[in-house]
Amino acid sequence: MRAGVIVFPGSNCDRDLALALERATGRPTRMIWHKDHDLPQGLDLIAIPGGFSFGDYLRCGAIAATAPIMRAVVEFAKTGGHVLGVCNGFQVLIETSLLPGALLRNANLKFVCRDVALKVESRKSSFTEKFLQGQEVTFPVAHHDGNYFASAELLERLEGENRIAFRYRDNPNGSTADIAGVLSENGRVLGMMPHPERLDQPELGGTDGAILFEGLAEAHLAV
Amino acid sequence: MKARVFVTLKNGVLDPQGEAVRHALGSLGFDGVSGVRQGKVIELDLTETDATRAEAHVTEMCEKLLANTVIENYRVELL
């Protein structure tokens, strides 16, 4: 699998994400600048990292969503490419409308930064198929605006289509139905607030995050 | 021509910042505030001189960037 990571001014987990992908794929990750208009050829996955792109001005992710490279990322997703958005990357994907819903300020107004337990809800994607159904995993969260908002109608659709990838065991931010990660209709775009790249090797205190990246790499080798 | 855009949260969307402001008002002794909703005001200087066209442009800006219409309403005022 060949992966690329988009870099915005204010991204701060881009190198972590690139390293996690390199460890899983054994190939270098391409770093892609937000002002580029085109993606490098031959990539299987585009990852949008966490951080505070453009200082979270206007709304988290709103300015990044208008960057030239995002037009290419939306096109890549619409033609069946895999896209992963972590934390601020999830906010960017929502602002580009690749994923539904909205991310609001945490219900308790506090920046939450700690490891959280998640339950794997949907294995219907390359991102999650290496996990066991219902498996409990630990990923760190670090965000101020991760309160996922879904209308009753959207929630019903997400549940009906098995598009909730992860749920929090103990909801840290007030998200609708404990939602921590959401898949697109075709299961190839995943947005999630928790950071799998921050817990992907024993030296970091855990390896649950590696399952996601290894699953992705294996899915693409099998193609 | 100037335009002023008011962006507010839709009814039914929780506004924890508004709630925090309501609590703070209460602790300052301002009784009788049963709800607070916080929003934002964006002022634009436009080169357009035709009001109808200006309003159409700003509405498009709201739809595409200034508001997140999943959770926010907007109102455009021309000055």
* Interval A155-205: pLDDT, tens: 999 999 999 999 999 999 999 999 999 999 999 999 999 999 999 999 999
pLDDT of A69 strictly over 90: yes
Cβ within 8 Å, pair A174-B71: no
3-state secondary structure of B44: strand
Say how many Å lie between the first and final Cα of chain A, rounded: 10
Q: What is the pLDDT of residue A181?
A: 98
Cβ–Cβ gap A104/B13 under 8 Å:
yes
Q: What share of chain B is helix, strand, coil (3-state, %, to 5)?
A: 35, 30, 35
- And the tokens for A76? 């890549």
What distance in Å separates the CA atoms of residue B4 and residue B54, rounded to the nearest whole number? 11
Check CB contact of A59 with chain B, cutoff 8 Å: yes
pLDDT above 90 (res A88): yes
A110 near B CB under 8 A = no
Q: Does A119 touch chain B (CB under 8 A)?
A: no
Catalytic residue among A87, A95, A121, A129: A87
A91 to chain B: nearest residue by CA? B68
Q: What percent of chain B has pLDDT over 90?
A: 92
CB contact under 8 A, B14 and A101: no
Interface contact B17-A105, CB threshold 8 A: yes
Active site residue A197: yes
The pTM is what?
A: 0.93
Residues of B within 8 A of A95 (CB-CB) are 68
A155 interfacial to chain B (CB closer than 8 Å): no
Per-chain mean pLDDT for chain A: 96
Residue-wise over A150-171: b if at least 16 C-beta within 10 A, else e? bbeebbeebeeeebbbbbbeeb
Which one of B5, B11, B14, B63 makes the best mutation probe of the A interface by having the most chain A beta carbons within 10 Å?
A: B14
Distance from CA of A108 to the nearest CA of B (A): 7
Structural tokens at position B69: 């219409």
Does the CB of A174 have a partner CB in chain B at under 8 Å?
A: yes
Distance CA(A208)–CA(A137), nearest Å, equals 6
Span A99-118, pLDDT tens digits: 999 999 999 999 999 999 99
What 3-state class would DSSP assign to B18? helix
A104 touches chain B (CB under 8 A): yes
Confidence of residue A220 (pLDDT cuts 50, 70, 90): confident
Catalytic, A95? Answer: no
Is A144 assigned a catalytic role? no
pLDDT at A205: 93
